[in-house]
């Protein structure tokens, strides 16, 4: 059979395109693609990169061991008066709970859900879960840039270090502080 007659290209009347902000933006920036190469809609985020820990596990582990030195020695001394492994078990359970709550809060932050209050996280750090919170901060990059959170966290850690040091020194620091305050108060009373 013979080929049909070629048809001539006839220009059609096309309405001029109005430059809308979306049309201008779509021409200016190439579309972003997901893994299956479909363009993303406006406001959608692309695939997430896996987050890396802030410090290498070796450095964070060594830092945690150093921070646990004084409280660990104090716990060993205190365990002479507490039967069994109750004290060690308590700190392990509270640290694991603090780690889980920090991981959960990080997941909620990524999913833009309701967050765990910082005071709740600080409470678990204060009752002994600061090692678990430290590990979670460096594992999940959780609240490492929030200076207010970090200030309170390190204040809690420093408090544990001071109490452990004082306990190992048979409470000489707190007794000396108490005596100094008593001398200051008696000096003020004698002047007035």
Query: Do the beta carbons of residue 129 and residue 98 sit within 8 Å?
Result: yes
pLDDT at 22 over 80: no
User: Which pLDDT band holds residue 164 (cuts at 50, 70, 90)?
Assistant: very high
Q: What percent of the chain has pLDDT over 90?
A: 30
Please report the pLDDT score of residue 133 as a whole number.
Answer: 94
Query: Do the beta carbons of residue 41 and residue 35 sit within 8 Å?
Result: no
Per residue in 69-128, pLDDT (tens digit) is 888 888 888 888 877 677 888 889 999 999 999 999 999 988 888 888 999 999 999 999
Stronger pLDDT, 192 or 82, i.e. the higher one:
82
Mean pLDDT, rounded, for 30-38? 52
Pairs from 167-170 (Cβ < 8 Å, separation ≥ 24): 167/74, 167/77, 167/78, 168/70, 168/73, 168/74, 168/77
pLDDT at 166 over 50: yes
Least Cα distance to 78 among 182, 171, 191 occurs for: 171
pLDDT at 155 over 90: yes
Q: Average pLDDT of the chain?
A: 79
pLDDT at 129 over 80: yes
Please report the pLDDT score of residue 34 as a whole number.
Answer: 47
User: Which pLDDT band holds residue 59 (cuts at 50, 70, 90)?
Assistant: confident
CB neighbour burial string for 148-181, b if at least 16 within 10 angstroms, e if fewer: ebeebbeebbeebbebbebbbeeeeeeeeeeeee
The domain locations on the chain are 57-180
Mean pLDDT, rounded, for 24-42? 53
């Amino acid at each position: 059979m013979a080929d049909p007659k070629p048809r001539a290209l006839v220009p059609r009347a096309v309405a001029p395109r109005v430059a809308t902000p979306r049309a201008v933006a779509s021409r200016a920036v190439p579309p972003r693609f997901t893994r299956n190469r479909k363009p993303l809609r406006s406001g959608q985020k692309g695939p997430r990169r896996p987050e890396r820990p802030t410090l290498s596990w070796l450095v964070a582990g060594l830092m945690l061991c150093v921070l646990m030195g004084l409280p660990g020695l104090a716990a060993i001394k205190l365990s002479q008066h507490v039967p069994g492994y109750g004290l060690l078990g308590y700190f392990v359970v509270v640290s694991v709970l603090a780690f889980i709550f920090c991981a959960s809060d990080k997941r909620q932050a990524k999913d833009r859900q309701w967050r765990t209050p910082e005071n709740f996280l600080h409470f678990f750090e204060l009752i002994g879960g600061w090692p678990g919170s430290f590990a979670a901060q460096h594992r999940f990059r959780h609240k490492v840039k929030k200076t207010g959170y970090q200030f309170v966290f390190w204040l809690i850690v420093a408090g544990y270090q001071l109490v452990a040091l004082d306990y190992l020194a048979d409470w000489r620091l707190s007794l000396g502080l108490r005596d100094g305050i008593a001398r200051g108060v008696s000096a003020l009373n004698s002047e007035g």
